[in-house]
């Protein structure tokens, strides 16, 4: 099983700041990584697939990058609605696996 | 508009069974890979199962293999998760989800999600 590890577990930032979230896979997953945002009481929302391709409706302040084992989600200028939990997921091999999440909270 | 409406959750005793349903509208469920993801209280997302392909290939997480079965009723555009031999560790919100592309096999990101269904396993 490919283990996916996200860091940090919690990130505190001010609105307007830049946020960088990391995701590491235990094996090479090429670019077979997706990112999701989840808010309390809601289903996840797909942000990126293919590590860097923005899904429909995702604002361009969000960007995804990386390949192999190391991936990054960057939010260039945090808006109030961006404070949520973010998960990365690898779909390179079965079983699909999610990271444990990064909680992005307002400082 | 794509919608996935879940039903069937509830309280069940340890060792019991439950069937979750996920009714699709606005798309043909047979053309997409479909998955189940669960989330225990206060915890992260965990992939459970996927059905994909023209022949309904299925894939399961190890912790549900032999206990859970996912299937789809194409005539009624509904996905199911049959859960057997349930334990307290299976207590979670269960989400159904749909792949991005209507090519039967794409699992590169779960684009559309159901609202979630709470399953509580307790005596």
CB contact under 8 A, A98 and B114: no
User: What per-residue confidence (pLDDT) applies to B102?
Assistant: 87
Give B38→chain A minimum CA distance, Å: 10
> Which residues in chain A have Cβ-Cβ distances shorter than 8 Å to B59?
94-95
CA distances from B26 to A39, A91, A100, B75, B113 (A): 25, 25, 32, 14, 13
pLDDT at residue B22 tops 90: yes
Q: What is the mean pLDDT of residues A67-74?
A: 98
Per-residue confidence (pLDDT) for residue B54, from 0 to 100:
87
Q: Determine the pLDDT at residue A96.
A: 97
Between chains, do B107 and A97 touch, taking CB under 8 Å as contact? Answer: no
Beta-carbon separation of A95 and B113 below 8 A = no
Q: What percent of chain B has pLDDT over 90?
A: 94
Q: Is A91 on the interface with B (CB under 8 A)?
A: yes
Q: How many residues does chain A have?
A: 107
* Residue B78 banded pLDDT, cuts 50, 70, 90: very high
Phi, psi of A15 (to 5 degrees): -55, 140
Distance from CA of B109 to the nearest CA of A (A): 6
Question: How many angstroms from the chain centroid is the CA of residue A43?
Answer: 15
In contact, B82 and B71? CB cutoff 8 Å: yes
| Chain length of chain B | 123
Instruction: Judge contact between A65 and A74, C-beta under 8 A.
Output: yes
């Amino acid at each position: 099983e490919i283990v996916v590890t996200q860091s940090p577990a919690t990130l505190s930032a001010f609105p307007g700041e830049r946020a960088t979230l990391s995701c590491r896979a235990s094996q090479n997953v090429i670019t077979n990584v997706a990112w999701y945002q989840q808010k309390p009481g809601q289903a996840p929302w797909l942000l990126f697939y293919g590590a860097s391709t923005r899904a429909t409706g995702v604002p361009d302040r969000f960007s995804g990058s990386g390949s192999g084992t190391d991936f990054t989600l960057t939010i260039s200028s945090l808006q109030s609605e961006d404070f949520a939990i973010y998960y990365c997921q690898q779909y390179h091999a079965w079983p699909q696996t999610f990271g444990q999440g990064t909680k992005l909270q307002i400082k | 508009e794509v919608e996935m409406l879940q039903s069937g959750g509830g309280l069940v005793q340890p060792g019991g069974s439950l069937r979750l349903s996920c009714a699709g509208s606005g798309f043909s469920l047979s053309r997409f890979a479909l998955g189940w993801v669960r989330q225990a209280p206060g915890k992260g997302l965990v992939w459970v199962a996927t059905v994909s392909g023209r022949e309904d290939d299925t894939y399961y997480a190890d912790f549900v293999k032999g206990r859970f079965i996912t299937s789809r009723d194409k005539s009624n555009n509904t996905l199911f998760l049959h859960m057997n031999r349930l334990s307290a560790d299976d207590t979670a919100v269960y989400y159904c989800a749909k792949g991005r592309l209507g090519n039967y096999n794409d699992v590169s990101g779960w684009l559309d999600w159901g609202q979630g269904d709470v399953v509580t396993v307790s005596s």
